[in-house]
């Protein structure tokens, strides 16, 4: 039986996270969710990879980002930082890590 090989993309995908303290409620994060949704839509229209997801945890709020670039100096990064500042919260951005596509 011949196995099918999945063609890998030549594009590296990167993941990083924003950690927001103190943790925030979904209601307080509405403006950030709108920013994430807009950036995702823009990326799709421009054939880029970019997605952000809010994860509510008891001790920290996370925004997980997957992107086609490790650059963290894009407009979306500045807009997210500005929104977190309006929440009067602290924010830490993790170092981007390359994500391997090892799925069969």
List pLDDT tens digits, range 35-72.
999 999 999 999 999 999 999 999 999 999 999 999 99
- Count structural domains, the chain: 1
- Would residue 3 count as lying in a domain? no
- Would residue 104 count as lying in a domain? no
- Would residue 5 count as lying in a domain? no
Measured between alpha carbons, how far is 57 from 41 in angstroms, rounded to an integer?
26
Residue 41's CB is within 10 A of a number of other CB atoms, namely 11
- Would residue 101 count as lying in a domain? no
Mean pLDDT of the chain: 90
- Would residue 89 count as lying in a domain? yes
- Would residue 102 count as lying in a domain? no
Distances in Å between the Cα of 36 and the Cα atoms of 3, 8, 27, 56, 103 are 38, 27, 15, 15, 26
CATH number at residue 52: 3.30.70.600
- Structural domain that includes position 24: 13-96
Mapped onto helix, strand or coil, the DSSP state of residue 58 is: coil
Query: Rounded to two decimals, what is the model's pTM?
Result: 0.83
């Amino acid at each position: 039986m011949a196995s099918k090989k999945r063609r890998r993309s030549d594009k590296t995908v990167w993941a990083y996270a924003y950690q927001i303290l103190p943790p925030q409620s979904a209601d307080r994060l509405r403006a950030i969710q709108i920013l994430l949704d807009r950036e995702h839509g823009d990326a799709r229209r421009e054939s880029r990879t970019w997605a952000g997801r809010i994860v509510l945890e008891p001790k920290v709020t996370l925004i997980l980002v997957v992107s086609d670039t490790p650059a963290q100096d894009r407009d979306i990064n500045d807009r997210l930082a500005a929104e977190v500042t309006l929440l009067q919260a602290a924010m830490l951005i993790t170092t981007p890590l390359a994500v391997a596509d090892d799925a069969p």
